[in-house]
């Protein structure tokens, strides 16, 4: 097989992505706005000079602002999105028709990805190492690499069919993120550090999660590129100050991002995230509204187990990428899988990142046996295409198939590549994680509890004490509503209650010590208080909590 024939496969593989993506975009031309409303209307707020009025990081206020402009009712939550996205989506926000803007956004993303895909495959084949492998394969070795794995690259769009489809359906940016990450990887292999810095800094600034790839630089000695990438990330992240003002940027990085790292996004117990953190929390943390049937309630044990899990994943992946004999493509793919396992927030469209382990499995000399790469692709297919939302009524252990598939892929890579154990690495990571746990761990107030008997109201943005009960003002996705909650409790204002630095004080004494936002504390009977809080529920998803006075 001549080198020119590989180029034909690359043209065919790129055409396959274009055909599959084009087919999906055409079939989705009349779907709702989806997540694209988050990005589009946030940038619209900047264009209209109303960022402060829209209050991007307050879901209730932002939803009201958006739905005054949207042609259909939408529910948006900008909390997971860094402020720099306001600038990144400006070209599309200038298109007045939101449906046209979403369509153009998807088409541009697909074309950009296909171009980057072809460029990346061409550069990989021109790499000297792969040329040597190619030459050796033509002298009678019984290897399937030149034929079947190369042909199997044509299957990757189908392996990732559902993530690609949902990316277009929601108007998400993962095609752009994957493209920037792969461009950065290719430039890194070609020793073009300034281009690597640019591509990876853009990807990390837009989604935060891709920062896991910086492990490669640290472990494989790319300290200069690491330093420049971090510096550029800081510059890009600060750019929104010019348009949104410093308060919005500081709010995100000081208040919101730490809570996202703690897994507080909407419902931190939902199986849709398919993360080990959710798995552990569902077993060991009781929540009266969101998780009322755990195996047992031992929060400290949940935190400890998740710490041990992080230690194991980081230790294994650093050992993998520390081994110089392991091809960079496999090291990169394993790093991405490790990042997905460590993330507390997973989604189906984010599984487009499995493009990297899929390409690595099919393009390296380290995985030669057919059943190895066939099983790898099968597991990636399962992780990408199982409809998780249909599993909510299944037994607990059967509700996390994506997590299991990713764990098997990751452990399989480790077993096949067999890196030499590095005790110093394990000790260093363990020490750093313990320091992080001690520094960021905020003591939870064990006296805090829900006031309402159930969690039927996603966002309660205000309440009033009336004769016979409470008037609840809430937002459920269809606009602001009011409900009356009947109670014999006596609820009244007290001048001794105040909120300072997001903590509740009574007569100068601090009563709370957590990262949740709090509003409108009032006295509840004689020995308690009642207040709005989004603690443990995601930024801005307020409900009523009660707290016993000391």
With contact defined as beta carbons under 8 Å apart, do 413 and 320 qualify? yes
How high is the pLDDT of residue 144?
Answer: 38
How high is the pLDDT of residue 323?
Answer: 79
Q: What is the largest CA-CA distance in the chain?
A: 90
**Could you tell me the sign of the dihedral formed by the alpha carbons of 199, 204, 206, 207, in that order?**
positive
- Answering whether pTM is above 0.85, one says yes
Over the chain (550 residues), the average pLDDT of each successive run of 10 is 53 91 95 94 93 90 92 90 93 95 97 93 59 41 48 88 97 96 93 94 92 91 92 94 86 87 82 93 92 91 92 92 82 93 89 94 72 88 94 94 96 85 84 77 56 90 92 86 92 92 91 89 93 90 92
With contact defined as beta carbons under 8 Å apart, do 416 and 340 qualify? no
Q: Of 175, 165, 204, which Cα lies nearest the Cα of 34?
A: 165
Q: Of 404, 419, 412, which Cα lies nearest the Cα of 360?
A: 412
Altogether, the residues listed in the chain come to a count of 550
How far is 295 from 322, CA to CA, in rounded Å?
A: 39
How high is the pLDDT of residue 136?
Answer: 44
How high is the pLDDT of residue 448?
Answer: 58
**Could you tell me the sign of the dihedral formed by the alpha carbons of 312, 313, 317, 318, in that order?**
negative
């Amino acid at each position: 097989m001549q080198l020119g024939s590989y180029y034909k496969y690359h043209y065919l593989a790129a055409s396959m992505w274009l055909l599959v993506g084009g087919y999906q975009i055409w079939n989705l031309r009349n779907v709702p706005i989806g997540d694209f409303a988050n990005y589009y209307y946030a940038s619209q707020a900047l264009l209209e000079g109303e960022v402060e009025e829209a209050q991007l990081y307050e879901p209730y206020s932002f939803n009201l602002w958006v739905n005054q402009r949207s042609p259909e009712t939408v529910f948006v939550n900008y909390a997971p999105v860094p402020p720099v996205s306001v600038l990144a989506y400006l070209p599309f926000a200038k298109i007045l028709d939101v449906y046209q803007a979403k369509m153009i956004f998807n088409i541009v993303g697909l074309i950009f990805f296909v171009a980057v895909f072809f460029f990346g495959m061409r550069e990989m084949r021109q790499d000297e190492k792969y040329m040597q492998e190619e030459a050796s394969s033509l002298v009678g070795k019984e290897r399937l690499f030149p034929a079947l794995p190369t042909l199997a690259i044509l299957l990757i769009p189908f392996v990732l069919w559902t993530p690609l489809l949902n990316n277009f359906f929601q108007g998400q940016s993962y095609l752009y993120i994957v493209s920037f990450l792969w461009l950065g990887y290719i430039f890194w292999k070609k020793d073009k550090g300034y281009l690597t810095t640019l591509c990876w800094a853009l990807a990390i600034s837009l989604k935060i999660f891709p920062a896991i790839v910086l492990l490669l630089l640290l472990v494989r000695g790319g300290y200069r590129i690491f330093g420049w990438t971090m510096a550029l990330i800081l510059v890009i992240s600060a750019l929104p100050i010019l348009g949104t003002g410093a308060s919005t940027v500081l709010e995100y990085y000081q208040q919101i991002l730490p809570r996202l790292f703690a897994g507080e996004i909407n419902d931190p117990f939902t199986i849709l995230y398919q993360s080990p953190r959710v798995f552990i929390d569902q077993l060991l943390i009781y929540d009266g509204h969101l998780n009322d049937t755990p195996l047992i309630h031992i929060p400290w044990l949940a935190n400890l187990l998740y710490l041990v899990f992080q230690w194991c994943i980081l230790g294994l992946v650093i050992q993998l990428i520390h081994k110089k004999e392991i091809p960079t493509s496999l090291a990169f793919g394993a790093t991405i899988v490790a990042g997905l396992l460590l993330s507390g927030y997973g989604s189906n469209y984010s599984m487009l990142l499995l493009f990297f382990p899929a390409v690595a499995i099919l393009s390296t000399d380290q995985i030669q046996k057919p059943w190895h790469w066939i099983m790898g692709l099968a597991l990636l297919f399962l992780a990408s295409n199982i409809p998780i939302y249909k599993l909510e009524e299944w037994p607990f252990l059967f509700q996390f198939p994506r997590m299991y598939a990713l764990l098997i892929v990751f452990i399989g890579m480790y077993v096949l590549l067999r890196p030499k154990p590095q005790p110093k690495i394990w000790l260093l990571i363990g020490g750093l994680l313990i320091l992080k746990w001690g520094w960021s761990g905020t003591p939870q107030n064990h006296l805090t509890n829900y006031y309402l008997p159930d969690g039927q109201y996603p966002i309660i943005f205000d309440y009033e004490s009336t004769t016979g009960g409470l008037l609840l003002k809430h937002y459920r996705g269809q606009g602001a509503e009011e409900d009356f909650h009947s109670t014999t409790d006596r609820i009244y204002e007290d001048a001794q209650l105040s909120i300072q630095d997001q903590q509740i004080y009574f007569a100068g004494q601090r009563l709370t010590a957590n990262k949740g936002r709090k509003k409108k504390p009032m006295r509840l009977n004689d020995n308690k208080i009642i207040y709005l809080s989004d603690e443990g529920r995601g930024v801005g998803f307020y409900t009523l909590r009660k707290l016993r006075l000391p």
